[in-house]
Amino acid sequence: MSDLQLFLPCAAGVEDLLADEVHSLTGLAGDALLVGRGGVEVHAPWREALRLNLHSRLAQRVLVQLVHAPYRAEDDLYQAASAVAWEAWFTPRQSFKVEITAQHSPLKSLNFAALRIKDAVADRFRAKSGVRPDVDTQRPEVRLHVHLTSTHCTLYIDTSGEPLFKRGWREDKGEAPLKETLAAAMIAASGWDAATPLYDPCCGSGTIAIEAAQVACNVAPGLRRRFGFERLLPHQAHVWAQLKQEAQAAQREPAAPVFGSDVAFRMVDFAARNAERAGVAHAVQFRGGDALQRLPPSERPGVMLVNPPYGERIATAGVAGRTQRGRERPEAGDGEDFFVQLAAHWKKHYAGWTAWVLTPDLKLPSHMRLKESRRVPMWNGPIECRLFRFDMVAGSARARDAAAGA
């Protein structure tokens, strides 16, 4: 376990941010840290796999690569999986599950491919010990991941268990909640340094604000959950306990406040309870109020991060009073007007602030009558989005241009 090949999958567009995070956590660089499509590859010992599970905000999982081999048919998959020393990772008394993905695979049935790999694992255990492990597709103790390209099969064992966006604190949530990993990606892409105020005026159940508060307090995102590696044979409880103790000792008081508000007071209550479970209730302040009316929560300008409800997620956020299941829902045609009003409100009251807005609408800057200073591609699940940066100044662009020419 001194030199494992790890793969950390992430959302499309987040790969470089994840590589920076892994470097900051482990110090790895060069050939030991490679950016790939949909994630990063890491060469590191077992201890670092545990550290990455505990601290990574951007990775979806931490996978250990066990096989990378060419294949042409299902029997090739069986042979590749049979060659793995599964008995070094778990016992036949533990249940397992095979999850398979493919890109341009020549095989006709992924279900049959997964079945052949399951058979290979079970047959190896039966040959070694006379006992076959059970398959559990709902709550497996061990998860195996397989990815097929047009020519190669890659087989991983999962050290995370539940995906890493499940931090363990978000029990209260509204409709179409933002994943914690995407909220963390928004924070990382914004370059927020935790030394200036941060505000989410459409906070929902508080995901962005709570992630930011944990960053400000240096709270490891995995402190309040369990992991798949705790059930694997290489696990050493004393090593894991030491890593958690180090993480707890590194926590600090925030250097700047974090704020969140939402038009639905029910969501504000949810956010407050989630912050309490996340251990950052002292570092974040939640208030009720319409985004079109709320004044800056801080005298010092800061950063706004906004993921307004939109399109395929639910309807675009609008004026207070029209709500459905805890989030604002405008009448038809209100969405564009909302953003026009929001931009006017920001220009009037939020001069000096930097606003970042996540949206699938590539024309949002023109709708808001603002010029973005940066756009970052991001995916919210299957929805392709852009994270737009707007540098807020008082008044309209036309008025500023006239003043500059006077």
Summarize the confidence of residues 294-322 as an average pLDDT: 70
pLDDT tens per residue, range 90-116:
999 999 999 999 999 999 999 999 999
> The whole model's pTM is what?
0.89
Q: Which CATH architecture has domain 4-158?
A: 2-Layer Sandwich (3.30)
For 210-235, write each residue's pLDDT tens digit: 999 999 999 999 999 999 999 999 99
The bridge status of strand 4-9 relative to strand 63-70 is antiparallel
Residue-range domain boundaries for the chain: 4-158, 180-220+254-403
Q: Which two tokens stand for residue 301?
A: 């300008």
- Quick one: what percent of the chain has pLDDT higher than 90? 84
Q: Using 50, 70 and 90 to split pLDDT, how confident is the model at 395?
A: low
Classify domain 180-220+254-403 at the CATH class level: alpha beta
Cα atoms found within 13 Å of the Cα of residue 346, Cβ hemisphere only:
29
Question: Is the distance from CB of 394 to CB of 351 less than 8 angstroms?
Answer: yes
The C-alpha atoms of residue 323 and residue 400 are separated, in whole angstroms, by 37
Secondary structure letter of residue 295 according to DSSP = P
Averaged pLDDT of the chain: 91
Q: What stretches of 14-109 show up as alpha helix (H) in DSSP? A: 15-26, 46-55, 74-82
Cα distance between residue 282 and residue 275, in whole Å: 9
Q: What sign for the dihedral angle of Cα 134, 86, 143, 82?
A: negative
> Beta strands of 87-151 (E only): which ranges?
96-102, 142-148
